[in-house]
Every structure is written in structure tokens, then in C-alpha cells.
A and B are shown apart, each in its own frame.
Chain A
Amino acid sequence: MGSSARKSLMIVLAVVSFAGPALAVEPLKLEEQLPKLIAAIKPKPEESKWLSIPWETSLWTARQKATAEGKPILLWEMDGNPLGCT
């Protein structure tokens, strides 16, 4: 281990050790914690129905697809892409 890598790891360990008792949240330590945590954080099926819609993210591509398929375009335009921002 290089000295800078060792220093970095020591900082991580120091922060993790230091952080424990003062925080409402226990520091992450074990990979076994992750699957349940990930499931708790990611969108639930009932929050994700709109994601079953095959959204395009280029208006021009949508135009090309619409004329090829003979369909109208449905544009959801927000300040922040609905698929990417909050």
C-alpha cells in the first residue's frame, strides 16, 4: 500500500470510528447490510409504473420514431428531466 493510499484509508477508518456514537445512523461496515438497504432506498413497484413507459430522451429521435410508426408524440417537459432529476 502506498503512503497516500494508507493515509486515505486511515482517514476513512478514523471518520467511520469517530462518526459512530454521534450519529443517528450507524456507519456502514458490512456488505451484508447492503441488499436490504438498497431495497429500502430504490423505488418501490407502486412508485415506478411510469417507468414502464419506454421514454425516449431525444426529441429528435422521438420525431423520427413517430413519423416511422404513424403515432403522435407525448412530451413530458420539466425543469429537470423527469427521468433524471428528483
Chain B
Amino acid sequence: MVKMAREDFVPVAMDDWYQRRRKDAEGEFFRGVANQGPRKGDGGGTRQGVYAFTAGGKLLAYRNHGDPIIMRDEVAKALKKFNALPEAERKPGAVTVPDIEEAKLDKQYHRAPPKDALILRQHGRVLEKGDSGDMESCKEIPSGVRGIYSSRDMVWITADEWRSLVPADVKAGQTIELPAKVVERLCRFHLLDNTRGEPPMWSKEQIRRSAMTLTVDKVTPQQVTMTLRGAALMTTDADDKKADRGFDCTILGTAVFDRTTKAFTAFNFVALGDAWGEGGLDKGARPGRNPLGIVFEQVSGKDPADKVAPQAAREVGAYLGRY
């Protein structure tokens, strides 16, 4: 399957939430393809699944099945169908696909990173204490419990926000607080257990404690090296002992700012703490309070995967702290 996807297709991964709603050429093209299959999205419903189709929009296959063998066979059949098409439909350049003007993109449902944003990739995983005393990935989880694998999300920090982290007169020993909007964004939308699917995001009121501070360790003409330290507590009840869901964590990491290019070259940190509870869409949590680790690492923004929007950016105004 991986070989076919790499070599015989142009693979693309999309968020149906945006694609089924967007009112522009890309949205119309997608719906035109999906409408040839069983998922016609009646009443705005989901069109999730795996589709194979031509650049001209002819559907070759659609399936949404959990069995990888079934999916592999379906994709192989689609490739066979493609190769059986008249050459005029499949040869390079058979279809003209012009660029879409930026102004014609659906502003409400086209999501791209803010200009010059600092982009972080996030991975979370449930952990357990190993024999050595160190935190380790869980080797197995009890029956009925889900979410042993590493989760993914993206983080956006706007240009104004990250530029504020390095003052012009930066000195070793100085401490710099992360902007309140960044702390709130991390707490509400990223310091959570998304290992079993989409969890409820935290409300502003559910942030019970939060502090994140950069300490300048070293300043040279070329770069500034800093340590990020922090702690946060998010709970569904003001009394964390009564809260049915929560995350109580400490944060540690490093940041390196290149003074020549005036950009961060590393902004990496880890949140580690106790997580508990579950929401309506992410059942199957381990009973009680258990270790959860979340890694945040800066990415270049050049890889197509770096441009995927944070899950919480569906409500982009709230995500960026505009309201």
C-alpha cells in the first residue's frame, strides 16, 4: 500500500471538515468527485474516506474500511482502472489545472499558517514508569482502554508573538514571559490528551494555573539560547480532586534564536504530567490519573505536512485569541 501510494499515485491528505464546506474551486472539485460515490454529503454530512480519481475528476474508487488489506486491494483496483483509461485521459498534461488566485479562496474554510508564523509539531503519548524509574511508552494497555500510539497536532505562534520573545537588549539571566495569548492557546488547545481521538478543548475558565517563562542562558553575536520552563493545570472543576477530567503538568525545553536571520531555529519543549478523564468522542481512557507526555518541536514550514492547521484552528478567531 505504501509503495503504491508513493510510486503510482499523487497522495494527498485532507480535513473533510473544511473540504466539504469550502465554497471555492477546490471545494467544488472535491464535491464533484465525492458525488460520484456513495458519500454525497447530504445535509452537510461527512464525506470521509479514501478516494482515488483522475486529475480531471473521474472517480476510480471510494472506500472507508478499517481493514488495511481491503483498502490495499481497493487502491490496486483503482490503479488498474486508471491504467485502462484511454491515454488521452491519463497522459501527462491531459488536463489543464490553472493556479487558483489567493483572492478566490474561501476565506472561511481555507486554512493556512499565518504569515511568518512559528510552527510546531506536537506529539502526545500515554506513558508508564519503567523498571529504571524513567517514563516509557506503554507496552500494553488493559482491555477496553484505547490510545497507546503517539498522537499528532500542529501549533501556530504568530510572528508578532514570537518576535516579542527576544528583546533588542537581550542579556543572559533575563527572564521573559510568554505572551498571555500564547500561554492560553497552549493550555486550551494543546495541553490535552488527544491520544484517543478528538478530546474536548479546555475553556478559558478551566485553566486553573499557568505560567511559562523563557530564561536567557547565553547570548553571543550569532545566537540567543534560552530555557523554557512552565507549569499548567487544566481541570473541569475548580477543585481538581472533584474534576472528572484534567491535566496537571510541568514544561521544560529549549529555544535558540538566530540573531543574523532574526528567527528561531529551535523552539522545542516537553510537557509531562498527570492526565485523567475522557470526553464524549474519546472514550477508553485509562482509569485514574496517569502519565501523559507531549512533545512540541519547531518545523521549517516547508514540508506540505507542516502547513496542516492545528485541530483547534477550525475556530481560528478563538485559536489566535481574537476573542
Number of interface residues, chain A, beta carbon within 8 A: 69
Contact assessment for B227 and A55 in the assembled complex, using a CB-CB cutoff below 8 Å: no
Q: Mark B34-52, 1 if CB is under 8 A from A, else 0.
A: 0000000000001111111
Q: Inside 8 A of B154's CB, which chain A residues have their CB? A: 84
Contact assessment for B15 and A28 in the assembled complex, using a CB-CB cutoff below 8 Å: no
Q: Inside 8 A of A37's CB, which chain B residues have their CB? A: 134-135, 270, 272, 293, 295
Contact assessment for B50 and A74 in the assembled complex, using a CB-CB cutoff below 8 Å: yes
Contact assessment for A40 and B79 in the assembled complex, using a CB-CB cutoff below 8 Å: no
Contact assessment for A53 and B153 in the assembled complex, using a CB-CB cutoff below 8 Å: no
- Give A67 Cβ to nearest chain B Cβ, in Å: 4
Contact assessment for A5 and B2 in the assembled complex, using a CB-CB cutoff below 8 Å: no
Contact assessment for A83 and B305 in the assembled complex, using a CB-CB cutoff below 8 Å: yes
- A66 vs B92: C-alpha distance in the bound complex, in angstroms? 8
> B151 at the A/B interface (Cβ < 8 Å)?
yes
Q: Inside 8 A of A43's CB, which chain B residues have their CB? A: 123, 149-150
- A24 vs B248: C-alpha distance in the bound complex, in angstroms? 10
Q: Inside 8 A of B50's CB, which chain A residues have their CB? A: 74-77
Number of interface residues, chain B, beta carbon within 8 A: 105
Q: Which stretch (B158-166, B256-264, B307-315) binds chain A? A: B307-315
> B284 at the A/B interface (Cβ < 8 Å)?
no
With contacts A16-B250, A57-B304, A70-B94 taken as known, whether A41 is within 8 angstroms of B14 at the C-beta atoms is no
> Which one of B2, B46, B97, B311 lies within 8 Å of A64 (CB-CB)?
B97
With contacts A8-B213, A78-B15, A79-B48 taken as known, whether A47 is within 8 angstroms of B54 at the C-beta atoms is no
> B186 at the A/B interface (Cβ < 8 Å)?
no
Contact assessment for B230 and A12 in the assembled complex, using a CB-CB cutoff below 8 Å: yes
Contact assessment for A47 and B211 in the assembled complex, using a CB-CB cutoff below 8 Å: no
> B55 at the A/B interface (Cβ < 8 Å)?
yes
- Give B271 Cβ to nearest chain A Cβ, in Å: 8
- A43-86 interface (Cβ within 8 A of B): 43-44, 47, 49-86
Contact assessment for B231 and A77 in the assembled complex, using a CB-CB cutoff below 8 Å: no
> Which one of B25, B196, B295, B304 lies within 8 Å of A38 (CB-CB)?
B295
Q: Inside 8 A of B270's CB, which chain A residues have their CB? A: 28, 34, 37-38, 41
With contacts A28-B250, A47-B149, A56-B12 taken as known, whether A81 is within 8 angstroms of B309 at the C-beta atoms is yes
Contact assessment for A41 and B294 in the assembled complex, using a CB-CB cutoff below 8 Å: yes
- A39 vs B19: C-alpha distance in the bound complex, in angstroms? 34
- A4 vs B180: C-alpha distance in the bound complex, in angstroms? 12
With contacts A59-B19, A72-B10 taken as known, whether A25 is within 8 angstroms of B175 at the C-beta atoms is no
A and B contact pairs by CB, cutoff 8 A, 29 listed: A1-B174, A12-B230, A19-B248, A25-B272, A25-B274, A27-B231, A33-B252, A34-B270, A37-B295, A41-B124, A51-B305, A53-B11, A56-B304, A57-B304, A60-B29, A62-B12, A66-B55, A67-B93, A67-B97, A70-B92, A72-B10, A72-B54, A74-B12, A75-B14, A77-B49, A80-B15, A80-B17, A84-B152, A86-B197
- Chain A residues with CB under 8 Å of chain B are 1-2, 4-6, 8-9, 11-12, 15-16, 19, 23-25, 27-31, 33-34, 36-38, 40-44, 47, 49-86
4 nearest CB pairs, A to B: A84-B308, A15-B231, A62-B12, A74-B9
